[in-house]
Chains A and B, each alone.
Chain A
Amino acid sequence: MQSAPAASSVSQYAMRLGDDRLVLGHRLSEWCGHGPILEEDIALANIALDLIGQATLFLKLAGETEGKGRSEDDLAYFREAVEYRNIHLVELPKGDYAFTIVRQFLFDVFSYHLLEQLMKSANAEIAGIAAKGFKEVRYHVRHSSEWVLRLGDGTAESHSRAQKALDELWRFSSEMFEADSIDREMAAAGIGADLDALKPKWETVVRDVLTRATLTIPDDPPAMTRGRKGSHTEALGHMLSEMQIVARSHPGAGW
């Protein structure tokens, strides 16, 4: 019943999982030293570290499965923006704290359900990375959802900032659930997640928290995105320029 998928498909799938987390972890790390209070500097750094750690493992797997000798660092530092496979949601600039928290929340709920499924992946490496990541994301989703509540139902200013953030971000959430041929191939092989099954679970949790946060869910159509195929916002190029500059200035060097 499970067909053997092409190695390139597995590699692409792992790359998507890695890229989402690397880009999001990088955006979170931009707060370090600039957070609203010392305790949150520490909290965000924790989440960023977990995400970059997960990304490292997924990208390592992607490189190994690809079979062209590319390491996780080769993939992270020597791919152009058009070769990145993350969704748009994670690459948007960090904005204010409300934007960061609402974005994190939307992703965390997705990642929670996704990793929960991937723990049962037929690919042992993916299952292992997902198991480790699932322990971490349970805590991330607790942090981001509690902060969505506090910002949405805090002061008038925090509510207005949280609503503005949600108004900007909501239309980027559907991309998390857009299955393409690789997703279908992975799901059929028992390796990848069934995104259609994830979406209602995500919606239930997200709507519950946002409602309790007294926020209004926008009615926008999904944004036109094709991050999984390498079509990104202009923000990603700038982010990668900064991220990659030292590595690219010394090609072949070790660090």
Chain B
Amino acid sequence: MASSASVGVGYETSESPDKGETQWPLWEVFTQKDGGAPHEHAGSVHAPDAEIALQNARDVYGRRGGVVSLWVVPSNFITASPSDQAGPFFDPGAEKIYRHPQFYKIPRGLKGF
């Protein structure tokens, strides 16, 4: 199976259209607008690692100013409360913040399932 070339950070995502095709894993960005304020979710960026995620977050969400601090987290590392609007189909990844893509990759060790 073609790999998303993810190194385990962020999503293990959908079947890649191309062998080794990557847009880098997904990260969530939280910004603080001034001292004393809480960090708030601003959106996402793609990045291969934490340093680039921080730089990308700064460029995308901080370049207009009004941001004094940034947190970046791989999207996959966030655990969310279940949605009370989720409906009866408990997605196995129910505690993730977003939907799982239709195809998800199972690590080799679990192929028996």
Footprint of B on A, CB under 8 Å? 37-39, 42-43, 46, 139, 142-143, 146, 150
Offer 11 A-B interface pairs, CB within 8 angstroms, sorted by A. A37-B23, A39-B24, A39-B56, A42-B60, A43-B55, A43-B56, A46-B59, A143-B55, A146-B55, A150-B48, A150-B52
Asked if A43 contacts B59 (CB within 8 A), the reply is: yes
Q: Beyond the given A43-B55, A46-B63, A146-B55, could you list 18 further A-B residue pairs with CB under 8 A, ordered by the A residue number?
A: A37-B23, A37-B46, A38-B46, A39-B24, A39-B45, A39-B46, A39-B47, A39-B52, A39-B59, A39-B60, A42-B59, A42-B60, A46-B59, A139-B58, A143-B55, A146-B51, A146-B52, A150-B48
Within 8 A of A (CB), among B14-52: 23-24, 45-48, 51-52
List 5 tightest A-B contacts by C-beta distance, closest first.
A39-B56, A42-B59, A43-B59, A46-B59, A146-B51
Residue of A nearest to B63 (CB): A46
Alpha-carbon gap, A46 to B45, bound state (A) = 16
Alpha-carbon gap, A142 to B59, bound state (A) = 13
Residue of B nearest to A149 (CB): B51
Alpha-carbon gap, A146 to B46, bound state (A) = 16
Alpha-carbon gap, A39 to B45, bound state (A) = 8
Q: Report A-chain residues with C-beta under 8 Å of the C-beta of B63.
A: 42, 46
Residue of A nearest to B49 (CB): A150
Residue of B nearest to A142 (CB): B55
Q: Report B-chain residues with C-beta under 8 Å of the C-beta of A42.
A: 56, 59-60, 63
Give chain B nearest CB distance to A26 CB in angstroms: 20
Q: Report B-chain residues with C-beta under 8 Å of the C-beta of A37.
A: 23-24, 46
Alpha-carbon gap, A46 to B55, bound state (A) = 11
Q: Report B-chain residues with C-beta under 8 Å of the C-beta of A139.
A: 58
Give chain B nearest CB distance to A156 CB in angstroms: 14
Give chain A nearest CB distance to B38 CB in angstroms: 25
Q: Report A-chain residues with C-beta under 8 Å of the C-beta of B51.
A: 146
Residue of A nearest to B46 (CB): A39
Give chain B nearest CB distance to A190 CB in angstroms: 33
Give chain B nearest CB distance to A138 CB in angstroms: 12
Alpha-carbon gap, A38 to B56, bound state (A) = 10
Give chain B nearest CB distance to A47 CB in angstroms: 9
Give chain B nearest CB distance to A114 CB in angstroms: 23
Give chain B nearest CB distance to A147 CB in angstroms: 8
Alpha-carbon gap, A46 to B60, bound state (A) = 10
Alpha-carbon gap, A56 to B47, bound state (A) = 32
Q: Report A-chain residues with C-beta under 8 Å of the C-beta of B48.
A: 150
Give chain B nearest CB distance to A209 CB in angstroms: 14
Within 8 A of A (CB), among B50-104: 51-52, 55-56, 58-60, 63
Q: Report A-chain residues with C-beta under 8 Å of the C-beta of B60.
A: 39, 42
Give chain A nearest CB distance to B16 CB in angstroms: 15
Give chain B nearest CB distance to A233 CB in angstroms: 31
Alpha-carbon gap, A43 to B53, bound state (A) = 12
Alpha-carbon gap, A146 to B54, bound state (A) = 12
